[in-house]
Amino acid sequence: MKKREKLFIFDIGGVFVKLDPASRDRAVSKAGDAGPSMRYGDVPEAIFRDFRLGRSTEVDYVQALTRVFDVPHERIYEAEHAYVAEGFHEFIEFVRRLRENHRVVCLSNNQAIHWRHISENLLGAGYFDREYLSHEMGLEKPDRVIFEAVSQAEGCSEKDVFFIDDIEENVLSAREVGWQHCIVHRDSVETAKLLMALAAEQTLN
């Protein structure tokens, strides 16, 4: 393949960004409590899903959580930012270099608060050639429709797609729509080695 004919598609959470549910829970705990009286895991999934799919506004989402946790809205933002506060910096720089010769996009189940924090503080604006985000598309992985939408938008041959995600269910769904080179991400060093081989025209095992 010629330069930039390969398309690398990356998940975000767990790949570029460490997800930290414990710090998120601590941020909404009340002063004097040994631990949070309620945790994010106690929140109805519909609240997260609607925001993640762009069905509810940021204001609605934050207000819902302030009621659940009985804390000011500033604490909700603190908790949301704590969840995505740390990036895997060496891998971030590796993919930045990869983009010099190949098209690099992201495909992420995300929401507006997390994405804004990640983009502004960990990756920087314009890090990807294009961003495919659940809260903007109204779709999410592992629904095959979101993979089909990305294929159509990119106008690419499935054989030219290299997809990296830390959730096996998402990788299996991508393979079902014809994406041939799909990697279950477990370790930044190992994934980087494999991607270097792919970028160097070596065969994927």
**CATH (domain of 157):** 3.40.50.1000
Dihedrals phi, psi of 87, to nearest 5 degrees: -105, 160
Residue 162, exposed/middle/buried by CB under 10 A (0-12, 13-18, 19+)?
A: buried
Do 94 and 54 lie in a common domain? Answer: no
Per-residue pLDDT of the chain (205 residues; tens, 9 = 90+): 444 568 999 999 999 999 999 999 999 986 656 555 789 999 999 999 999 999 999 999 999 999 999 999 999 999 999 999 999 999 999 999 999 989 999 999 999 999 999 999 999 989 999 999 999 999 999 999 999 999 999 987 776 899 999 999 999 999 999 998 999 999 999 999 999 887 776 444 3
> Rounded to an integer, what distance in angstroms lies between the CA atom of residue 201 and that of residue 186?
22
pTM given for the model: 0.91
Q: Is-contact 88 10, C-beta < 8 A?
A: no
If asked whether residues 53 and 11 sit together in one domain, one would say: no
Number of domains in the chain: 2
If asked whether residues 131 and 61 sit together in one domain, one would say no
Same domain, 187 and 120: yes
Q: Same domain for 187 and 126?
A: yes
Q: Is residue 49 a part of any domain in this protein?
A: yes
Last residue of a domain, one of 83, 105, 135: 83
Same domain as 95, residue 162: yes
